[in-house]
Amino acid sequence: MSQQKVKPVPNGMHTVTPHLVCRGAADAIEFYKKAFGAVESARLPGPQGKLMHAMIRIGDSAVMLVDEFPDCGALGPKSLNGSPVTIHLYVEDVDATVERAVAAGAKVTTPVDDMFWGDRYGQVEDPFGHHWSVATHIRDLSPEEIQAAAAKACG
């Protein structure tokens, strides 16, 4: 019997996949469903009702989640008093997506606006402390046009 070669990156995955630690990962999954249209694809329950692993898909991308396990060094942004990481999400309609995220419990940290690099863009913080930038690409610009627009916008 011959063995088939295992792919180093499984089907349906990309080479970079966010893996979020959340205080209340099951609640986070529900939030991401409401806010970003996420679809749950895996869930591995662990001790005391915590999730040892879960995976959702937002658009064509996977996002892994786990509950906080302080004894294993797994702490989320709420326990760490913030996060330096922002997850970028491209969508068809940034305004509608940000509105939906706010209705689900997110807080706007940068209002949606047309940006000099060609995106309509805004930022939210989800109820679990993760930062999301949300954008719809509205204009194709050359690197030179972006640099000139940046100089004008940032002055």
Q: What is the pLDDT of residues 105-137, one digit of tens each?
A: 999 999 999 999 999 999 999 999 999 999 999
pTM: predicted TM-score of the whole model, two decimal places: 0.91
| CA angle, residues 17, 18, 23, in degrees to nearest 5 | 145
Q: Average the pLDDT over 2-18 and give the result.
A: 88
Q: What is the pLDDT of residue 2?
A: 65
Residue 154 banded pLDDT, cuts 50, 70, 90: confident
Q: What is the pLDDT of residues 70-96, one digit of tens each?
A: 999 999 999 999 999 999 999 999 999
**H helix or E strand, kind and range, residue 103:** helix 94-104
CA distance 31 to 36: 8
Q: What is the pLDDT of residue 85?
A: 97
27 token code pair: 């609640």
Residues 6+ apart with CB under 8 A from 93: 136
